Amino acid sequence: MYDRKVRLFVRRVTPKSAGLRLDTYIYVSGAGVSRTQIQRAIKEGKVRVNGRVARASYRVKAGDVIEAELDYYEPPTEIIPEEGEVDIIYEDEDIIVINKPPGAVVHPAKGHFTGTIVNILYNKLLNAPGAERKRPGIVHRLDKDTSGVMVIGKSELAVRDLARQMATKEAKREYLTVVWGKVEKPGTVEAPIGRHPIYRERMAITVINAKSAITDYAPLEVFPYATLLKVSLRTGRTHQIRVHMEYIGHPVVGDPVYSGRDIGKIVKVLEGTEAPVEEVLSLIDRQALHAHRLTIRHPRTGKVMEFVAPVPEDMERLISFLRKDRSKSTSPL
């Protein structure tokens, strides 16, 4: 369906980049393809260092000449309508409110051209007689592995007004998350977020090309080695909750990017507290983060509306385990 093309990549390593892994160096040097595509090219022998095939783990040196033939695919110019199921909480002529499952991608992008929520809703709107918009109006997003409530605009009025509500924070979003360690008091994290200087798919606390970010949190249940938090956002930065929780030393349980699955870092967070870390991680294969509640003003009627997405099964399983484990540790001998 998509045209396969080859992109030639040639670079001479500068002293500033010396020491990076080969796959990381190619990625951060503007190859324009994903890390997975780079690693595939290395395995296929399409990447050479000073004329010789090299491994992904090779540490580049100043003066090395890197040559690579990188396959890539031209993204589609139009959204492709696809059949599929979406869990709709509420719908009228202006808005659709959905419960996004973990693992679902919201919008077509590099690596996910099809099978997204937008592809499915596009198909639904194309086949809906009298629909004002045929393309779903995405006014906010959730990470692929974050579950929960989202609102999508169906009319031009709704898209404009919902976007305004999101930008001005008139719309309120409340999340539930389970983090490592005890968080016994509510608090606020205020720390700027920008792209990680090396790993460009990640975000980081930084002052370089960063935007202000503010997160409020409050404990709902405190367990011996983890906490269930209610979290709300005053800003809406990419990966904001995940980055801020790691920053304050309480990474989100199961988060594969921001220390939530790194056993070495988890042990340091827990500071010697005994915890069945591997068993906990076996219960959930993503970050334990759920968009639980969304409050908006209806763009046409002006009525304040609140929508709640039930906690998904994997997070329910995790929380139930933590509750049972707590009762065991506090039960009399």
**In the chain, what percentage of residues exceed pLDDT 70?**
93
Of these ranges, 7-11, 134-138, 168-172, the one predicted with the greatest mean pLDDT is 168-172
Q: Which residue has the higher pLDDT, 33 or 1?
A: 33
Of the residues 55, 73, 91, the one at which a domain ends: 73
Asked whether residue 135 is assigned to any structural domain, the reply reads no
Of the residues 52, 73, 94, the one at which a domain ends: 73
> In which band, very low, low, confident or very high, does the pLDDT at 332 lie, cut at 50, 70 and 90?
very low
State yes or no: pLDDT of 149 exceeds 50.
Answer: yes
Output the pLDDT for position 331: 38
> In which band, very low, low, confident or very high, does the pLDDT at 333 lie, cut at 50, 70 and 90?
very low
**Residue 81 in tokens:** 């309508």
Residues 68 and 191 both lie in one domain = no
Of the residues 56, 73, 90, the one at which a domain ends: 73
How many domains does the structure of the chain reveal? 2
Whole-Å CA distances, 278 to 162, 223, 272: 41, 16, 15
Output the pLDDT for position 74: 55
CA distance 305 to 307: 7
Among 273, 166, 279, 293, CA closest to 223 = 273
Output the pLDDT for position 60: 94
Residues 253, 289: contact at Cβ < 8 Å? Answer: no
Output the pLDDT for position 108: 79
CATH number of the domain at 280, please.
Answer: 3.30.2350.10
Q: Which residue has the higher pLDDT, 251 or 15?
A: 251
Residues 326 and 209 both lie in one domain = yes
Range of the domain at 205: 175-290+317-330
Residue of 64, 94, 143, 325 marked active site? 143
CA distance 4 to 263: 39
Residues 177, 288: contact at Cβ < 8 Å? Answer: yes
64 is catalytic: no
**Residue 298 in tokens:** 């209806």
Residues 68 and 179 both lie in one domain = no
Instruction: List pLDDT tens digits, range 190-219.
Output: 999 998 888 878 999 998 888 899 999 999
CATH number of the domain at 14, please.
Answer: 3.10.290.10
Residues 59 and 182 both lie in one domain = no
Output the pLDDT for position 245: 98
State yes or no: pLDDT of 82 exceeds 60.
Answer: yes
Q: Mean pLDDT, the chain, as a whole number? A: 90
Burial classification of residue 13, based on how many CB atoms lie within 10 Å of its CB (0-12 exposed, 13-18 middle, 19 or more buried): buried
Residues 182 and 321 both lie in one domain = yes
Asked whether residue 16 is assigned to any structural domain, the reply reads yes
pTM over 0.85: no
Asked whether residue 241 is assigned to any structural domain, the reply reads yes
State yes or no: pLDDT of 261 exceeds 50.
Answer: yes
> In which band, very low, low, confident or very high, does the pLDDT at 253 lie, cut at 50, 70 and 90?
very high
Q: Region 42-56: what's the mean pLDDT?
A: 94
